[in-house]
Amino acid sequence: MIEVESKIASNFINGDWYHADSSETQPVYNPATLEKITEVAYSGEAETKRAIEGAQTAFKEWSTMPARKRSRILYKAHQLLLNDVDRLAHILTMEQGKPLKEAKGEIKSAASFVLWYAEEANRMYGEWIPASQKGKRQLVIPHPVGVVGAITPWNFPASMITRKVAPALAAGCTVVLKPAPETPLSAMEIVKIFVKAGLPKGVLNLVTGDAKEIGNALLTNHNVRLITFTGSTEVGKHLMRESANHVKKLSLELGGHAPIIIFDDADLDLAVKLSLASKFRNAGQTCICANRLYVHESVKERFTEKLIEQVKQLKVGQGTRDDVDVGPLINEQAVDKVKGHLHDAVEKGAKLVYGGDSQNTSDLNGHFYHPTVVQGTTSEMRVMNEETFGPLLPIQTFKEDKEAIDAANDTNYGLAAYVFTDSLERSYQVMEQLEYGIVGINDVFPAVAEAPFGGIKESGIGKEGGHHGLHEFVEQKFVSIGSK
Ligand code: NAP
C-alpha cells in the first residue's frame, strides 16, 4: 500500500517543489476504484513562465557540461529507477490502472531509455566535411536546441516521459514538463529520481495544471525552442499551428489506428497470442495497439475460434491483483467511446462474437469494460476508422493480399502496422507497401530504446528512441573557415 498525502506540491520549479500560486488543486483518482488518491497543483501561466526562466538559466551550465558528466547523471538515474521498480509500479497502477506486471514492465522500459541516452550522450558527434576549395575547413557542430517544452499523456505515464526527457538531457537541453492530469504522481517520481541522481537545479522542471495555459505559456515563449508532445492528433495539430509563431522545432508522437494482417500462411497460434497481447495490453489504450484485424478468409474460422478461447481466459479487475490481465479504462468517456464503437458496428451489420455491454463487470466499481470481439466489420464502421483506445477487437476478412494492404493503408494515421506470415517474399512485399512509420512482422512489440519509434502521415513528426531520438534535440551549426 502506497501512502500519499492528501494535497501535494506537484510543481517542481528551479529546484523546489511548489503548490499552485492560487493554491488551486485538481484531484487524482484511482480508475479501478474511483477513490480520490490526492490533489495536486492546478497551475497555469505564471508558474510555467518561472519554470521556463529556471530552465533558461540552467541551460548555460548544463549545455556546456562535459558529455561524460551528463551521461553519469543519466546512468545513476537509470540505476535508481531499476532499484525502485516495485514502488514506482504500484504508484503507476494506482493512478493509471494497468496491471502491476505491465506497470513493472513500463518502469523497466522507462529506465531502458535513460540507459540508452546515458550512452548516446557520449556520441553526439559532429562532422568534418572535406572542402572543395583549397585551404578551406568545413565543420558541422552539434548544439542542444535549448529549453524544451515536453507534454505527455496518461497511457504510459513513465516511459513517455523518459523517452523525451532522457534524450533532451543527454543532448544538453533543459526541460519544462507538463504531464497528463490523470497521472502526475509517476511524473513527480521520475523528476525526484533525476534530482537524486544529481541533476542541477532548473534542468528539469515540472508544472501540473491547466493544459491550455501551460501549453500557451510554452508556445508563446521565444526561449522554448522545441515542443515535444505525445498525445492525440487533434492536440498535436493545435501545437503545430501555434508553434509557427516562433518557428519552434517540433517532435510529435500522435494517435494511431494499427491494422494487423493475418495471411493464410501465418503461424496461427503465434498470431492469436500476439494479436491478443497487442489489443488487450493496457486495456487497449496504447497508441500502437491493434485497432483492427484483417484475417484471410481461409483461416478466419480457425483463427477466431482460437482467439475467443484465449480472450475468455483474460481476467478483468483491479491492476493490483496478481491474476489480473486487463485493468480499467482511464475514465467514463473512454468506456463510452468503446461502447459507441461497438454499437455503431453492430448497428451497421457486424456480429458480436464475444464480450459486449452485458459482459460488464458489475462487481467492480471502476471504469471497466470487458474484452470484446466483433466480426464482419466493414470500412464504414467507426471502429475501423477512429482510434478506439479500448478493449474492442474488430475482425474483417480479405481474399487478396492487395485488398488487405489497401484497407490497412486507407487511413490518415500511419503509426504502426503488423503482419503475420511465414513467407519471406510476402514479408518484403508487404513491409514495403505499408504506409506506416513502424511495421511489425510476426512481432507486435516494436517500442524499444535502441530503435526509432514514430509515425508518418497524421501520426506524427520525428522519432523517439535510437540515436535518431537524440537528434530531435540537436541543432547542426555549420562553420566554414577560410584561409589566407
Ligand atoms: P491528449 O488529450 O492529446 O493529451 C495529451 C497531453 O496533452 C495531456 O497532458 C493534455 O493535458 C495535453 N494537452 C491537451 N490540450 C493541450 C493544449 N491545448 N496545450 C498543451 N497541452 C495540451 O491525449 P491523451 O488522451 O492524454 O492520450 C491519448 C492519445 O495519445 C492517443 O491518441 C494516443 O494514440 C496518443 N499516444 C501516442 C503515442 C505515440 O508514441 N505516438 C504514445 C502514447 C499515446 P490535459 O489532459 O490536461 O488536457
Q: Are residues 219 and 340 in the same domain?
A: no
* Phi and psi angles of residue 38, each rounded to the nearest 5 degrees, phi first: -170, -175
Residue 107 has pLDDT above 80, yes or no: yes
Q: Are residues 173 and 292 in the same domain?
A: no
* CB-CB neighbours of 277 under 10 Å: 15
Q: Are residues 212 and 249 in the same domain?
A: yes
Q: What is the pLDDT of residue 401?
A: 98
| Residue-number span of the structural domain to which 292 is assigned | 258-447
| Cα 394 to middle of ligand 1, angstroms | 25
Q: Are residues 91 and 237 in the same domain?
A: yes
Q: Are residues 212 and 104 in the same domain?
A: yes
Does ligand 1 have an atom closer than 6 angstroms to the CB of 405? no
What sections of 244-327 are H helices per DSSP?
A: 268-280, 300-313
Edge-first strand order for the sheet with 351-354 is 351-354, 372-375, 392-398, 290-296, 258-262, 416-420, 438-441
What is the rounded average pLDDT for all residues in the chain?
Answer: 97
Q: Are residues 211 and 265 in the same domain?
A: no
Shortest-distance Cα residue to atom 30 of ligand 1: 231
- The CATH number assigned to the domain holding 198 equals 3.40.605.10
Q: Are residues 299 and 198 in the same domain?
A: no
Residue 13 is assigned to a structural domain of this protein: yes
- The CATH number assigned to the domain holding 412 equals 3.40.309.10
Average pLDDT over residues 437-455: 98
Q: What is the pLDDT of residue 268?
A: 98
| Cα 177 to middle of ligand 1, angstroms | 13
Each residue of 33-59: pLDDT tens digit?
999 999 999 999 999 999 999 999 999
Each residue of 72-81: pLDDT tens digit?
999 999 999 9
Cα–Cα distance, 326 to 29 (Å, whole number)? 18
Q: How confident is the model at residue 399 (pLDDT cuts 50, 70, 90)?
A: very high
Q: Residues with Cβ < 8 Å from 200, sequence gap 6 or more?
A: 15, 58, 61, 62
For the chain, percent of residues with pLDDT exceeding 90: 97
Residue 269 is assigned to a structural domain of this protein: yes
Q: Are residues 359 and 465 in the same domain?
A: no
Average pLDDT over residues 260-288: 98
Q: Give which of 204, 164, 208, 162 is closest to 183, Cα–Cα.
A: 208
Does ligand 1 have an atom closer than 6 angstroms to the CB of 469? no
Residue 402's Cβ-count burial label (10 Å; 0-12, 13-18, 19+) is: exposed
Residue 1 is assigned to a structural domain of this protein: no
Residue 484 has pLDDT above 90, yes or no: no
Q: Which atom of ligand 1 is nearest to the CA of 455?
A: 41
Q: How confident is the model at residue 358 (pLDDT cuts 50, 70, 90)?
A: confident
Q: How confident is the model at residue 357 (pLDDT cuts 50, 70, 90)?
A: confident
Residue 20 is assigned to a structural domain of this protein: yes
> Catalytic site residue 289?
no
Does ligand 1 have an atom closer than 6 angstroms to the CB of 38? no
Q: How confident is the model at residue 362 (pLDDT cuts 50, 70, 90)?
A: low
> Catalytic site residue 253?
yes
Q: Give which of 283, 457, 251, 265 is closest to 371, Cα–Cα.
A: 283
Residue 1 has pLDDT above 80, yes or no: no
The number of helices, as runs of H, and strands, as runs of E, in the chain is 14, 21
Q: Are residues 189 and 304 in the same domain?
A: no
- pTM flag (> 0.95): yes
Residue 453 is assigned to a structural domain of this protein: no
Residue 359 has pLDDT above 90, yes or no: no
Each residue of 377-389: pLDDT tens digit?
999 999 999 999 9
Q: How confident is the model at residue 361 (pLDDT cuts 50, 70, 90)?
A: low
Q: How many domains does the chain have?
A: 2
For the stretch 22-37, what's the b/e string if a residue is b when 16 or more beta carbons lie within 10 angstroms of its beta carbon? eeebbebbbbbbeeeb
Q: What is the pLDDT of residue 363?
A: 72
| C-alpha cell of residue 259 | 491494422
Residue 325 is assigned to a structural domain of this protein: yes
Question: Does an H or E element contain 249, and which?
Answer: strand 249-253
Q: What is the pLDDT of residue 2?
A: 84
Cα–Cα distance, 17 to 207 (Å, whole number)? 10
- CA angle (278 as vertex; 367, 366 as ends), nearest 5: 10
Q: Are residues 233 and 372 in the same domain?
A: no
Average pLDDT over residues 98-122: 98
Residue 316 is assigned to a structural domain of this protein: yes
Q: Are residues 337 and 465 in the same domain?
A: no
Cα–Cα distance, 168 to 145 (Å, whole number)? 9
Each residue of 315-332: pLDDT tens digit?
999 999 999 999 999 999
| C-alpha cell of residue 356 | 459486449
Residue 2 is assigned to a structural domain of this protein: no
Cα–Cα distance, 272 to 275 (Å, whole number)? 5
Q: Are residues 271 and 245 in the same domain?
A: no
The catalytic position among 120, 287, 387, 464 is 287
Region of 254 on the Ramachandran plot (φ > 0 left; ψ -120 to 50 alpha; else beta): beta
Q: How confident is the model at residue 3 (pLDDT cuts 50, 70, 90)?
A: confident
Residue 419 has pLDDT above 80, yes or no: yes
Cα–Cα distance, 61 to 41 (Å, whole number)? 29
